[in-house]
Structure 1
């Protein structure tokens, strides 16, 4: 580094990318801070070059990130820096750079601590010692202890365990071994690490999850975590799988997203295609402007990421859709989900292929740059708007649309509107329309079965009326209901839900959609003939979202990683058939096969 005369700094001094605008920057290291800073810089820099110890062993998320940014490049270690600004890499390639940022971590340092050599930091700054169980100095225990030395542990859980142990020792509830015994333990650990080829710098790296649990159980009587929480931490902790060096049981994940941002249905788009009012309206999302959550924000969250209000956001307990979209994106940022997401990618075809006796999936997708072919596991819930099956619609010449195409009530001002269906979207849209429409007539299957809350809503609005099913729609705009009543309507809005549809999926008949039943699916998730390589997350309806889908995703992850096993194909098929027989015996129509309700 001595010859380098241009800008160089440690990541500790990095704050914002603005000062690197238009520059060529070399980022040394690609752990978390290295990846973050490189991605931050590529927004303004001319080129960002990431230098790593081994290009082959880089985590899968890094090459994907590089492939998505034209000005992001991957290089091996730096061989030398020249006075003229040239950076030479180990493979002989070189470039002229304006700045170097070292994302190389930190050395242990305790400059304020004077204990006569009882605890030292070795020359390369990677080992603090001697420390019994990375916490107590044998010569000075229990009066001196260190909390927070171990690295690559579950934070703050492991440090909490250390603090509990220290507190129990200082309070007399636990005792330490004699100093000689602690020293022997430290020396044995050191010899074992040296025999395993572990360098001094990695002495305090405790990547074994089991080590954390054993530490808590052994030193502070901290109970082992329940399985669900352990699985959650394991999934979060081992999420970045590596290509070429993946630990057994891990798998790389790629998410194909057709929009230019994450959020799916919650990605509100005010524009719709007026030429397709009963279809998908040219957009994926069916969110309307006034939509709010119908369950408290405490429920609408993932188990490990509370849905808290944020300054400047929608602080209501039942916030609007924009607040939930903010939560989803914050979740993606915090957990690094975007490293696995390919935006603006439309799936054209997913098909199974036999490969040496095993099942492989090929995915044909289309981006703005053209088509791609990839291997793929998994599935998603897709849907198409379902219009009213009972109404004779052919003669209707006035406006009609599916709720998927509804956004704001303004264009219905002064009109007579018929809303078909009174589930959540039907109720919301009817009330929204009542602010500007002359009359809003809500058509339901059975007036007698309408919930009390809906009746109260109708009673509070003079222009809101409850009607039975539509019998027919007439060419002159007359809407005839099943009880013989009729109104002259200007518009009909079908708030009738969606059908399952997977037009891109080719399973050779192994999975079909029959009267809105997707199957056969074991526990609404795995098709027996294609499991575990293919799975569906998000098919069940009337469940607590997103918690239920999170549980499905965990199950799929555990099966793919080998931590859980599925029953034999025959047993899964038998389970599916038994479930459907039970549903039929209970009088549940086939179209409601995936309605699980929150009480089940």
Structure 2
């Protein structure tokens, strides 16, 4: 009998789950729960910040002029390329259209229940097996509540929607505008302002560059080695923030001070799974979710997987591998190691990160490790690895970005074979 699988979220990861599950109707019956009225997840842009028209927190962190920081040539799902006529670095509207096309091509809409919020996920164990009790409610009529049982749950709710704001001494003294990058939409609001952005990951760098076109001065404050690339004349770097010194003074860790009209936290996000009951035994410390074998499979409840928690990756190709791995666990074609072995694997992976100098909250950060990880998942379930060319283009773009932050998105790329690519002049 086909296994019933609840998929939480109809963003890229949830659509990928639905695509692979629905391709095997004799084995799986997916039900995708999506609390908005459309597919796309974080790629659905809205001018709104705070809460949406239903009073729910706005999920998307898209801003108006966003273009991807990876080229479409490495972003695509392995079995569904982007339109070749598009430039390499596409807009958020073009990514959303891609996800809409993916949904329609694989006929996924019939599996999705829109405007449906997952309230609780609870394991029910008996007769030697675990089932999952999933309680959902209608977003438009919250009193309409239904509970169903499933054989498995794939959590695909994303991790760019609940801002992480670090505590900074004196923050209550600051009388300028404080926002998180989650709420950033347009550079027009920063015309003539002096702005400090804390954090220089992708969004911090991109937003700082965009704001610099309108702002008076922009300071990018971060704890990384200084960016090598030439920056706009009104943009400079500073170390991390030591404290706020009222009412608009920001003091950096090197003792320098700056008078800021706006302070923007580009400090990342919390993992957030409000629907898990305590029986799910999922532990979340900042940036670290346990116990997940291969950053994916719950070691006590292998029919529960959390897809897409890794950061600094090519997301869509990795989602594809993770979904296929979770599916192989469910159908029994891949037999998991003993629980103790899985726990040891988790600890080994975590130690590797700490020994490489990463802080504990980077427990799921991949970067250079993503290729070995993707290949590992593929190998374990007998799949051919992702084309080496994807990794090679990723590395080429990274090099361009480091050396030419202002203009690297002008580049056009082409994959010419499984292990070959070129940059078009």
TM-score > 0.5 by shorter chain: yes
Gaps of 5+ in 1: 1-56, 61-231, 242-246
- What is the SS of the residue equivalent to 1:299? helix
Select 1:583's aligned residue among 353, 371, 376.
353
Select 2:66's aligned residue among 291, 303, 311.
291
- What is the SS of the residue equivalent to 2:45? coil
CA change 1:382–1:334 in 2 (3 A) is closer
Matched, 1:549 2:319: yes
Deviation at 1:257, TM superposition (A): 0.8
CA contact (8 A) 1:392 1:471 kept: no
Deviation at 1:550, TM superposition (A): 0.7
CA contact (8 A) 2:271 2:286 kept: no
1:568 and 1:471 map into 2 onto residues whose CA distance is 47
CA change 1:591–1:253 in 2 (3 A) is same
Matched, 1:414 2:203: no
Could you tell me which residue of structure 1 aligns to residue 81 of structure 2? 306
TM-score scaled by length of structure 1: 0.55
Matched, 1:400 2:175: no
CA contact (8 A) 1:421 1:496 kept: yes
Deviation at 1:469, TM superposition (A): 1.1
Could you tell me which residue of structure 1 aligns to residue 109 of structure 2? 338
CA change 1:251–1:281 in 2 (3 A) is closer
1:354 and 1:258 map into 2 onto residues whose CA distance is 28
Deviation at 1:583, TM superposition (A): 2.9
CA contact (8 A) 2:36 2:114 kept: yes
CA contact (8 A) 1:281 1:405 kept: no
Deviation at 1:389, TM superposition (A): 4.0
- What is the SS of the residue equivalent to 1:538? coil
- What is the SS of the residue equivalent to 2:189? helix
Select 1:373's aligned residue among 139, 142, 147.
147
CA change 1:577–1:450 in 2 (3 A) is same
1:392 and 1:549 map into 2 onto residues whose CA distance is 41
Could you tell me which residue of structure 1 aligns to residue 343 of structure 2? 573
Could you tell me which residue of structure 2 aligns to residue 560 of structure 1? 330
Aligned 1:117-128 pairs, distance under 5 A: none
Aligned length: 347
- What is the SS of the residue equivalent to 2:147? strand
Deviation at 1:494, TM superposition (A): 0.6
1:580 and 1:568 map into 2 onto residues whose CA distance is 19
2:94 and 2:84 map into 1 onto residues whose CA distance is 8
Could you tell me which residue of structure 2 aligns to residue 259 of structure 1? 36
Could you tell me which residue of structure 2 aligns to residue 43 of structure 1? none
Deviation at 1:499, TM superposition (A): 1.7
CA contact (8 A) 1:403 1:494 kept: yes
Could you tell me which residue of structure 1 aligns to residue 247 of structure 2? 476
CA contact (8 A) 1:381 1:539 kept: no
Q: Which has the higher strand share?
A: 2
Matched, 1:538 2:312: no
Deviation at 1:338, TM superposition (A): 1.3
TM-score scaled by length of structure 2: 0.76
Superposed CA RMSD in Å reads 2.5
1:302 and 1:509 map into 2 onto residues whose CA distance is 30
Deviation at 1:309, TM superposition (A): 4.1
1:509 and 1:332 map into 2 onto residues whose CA distance is 30
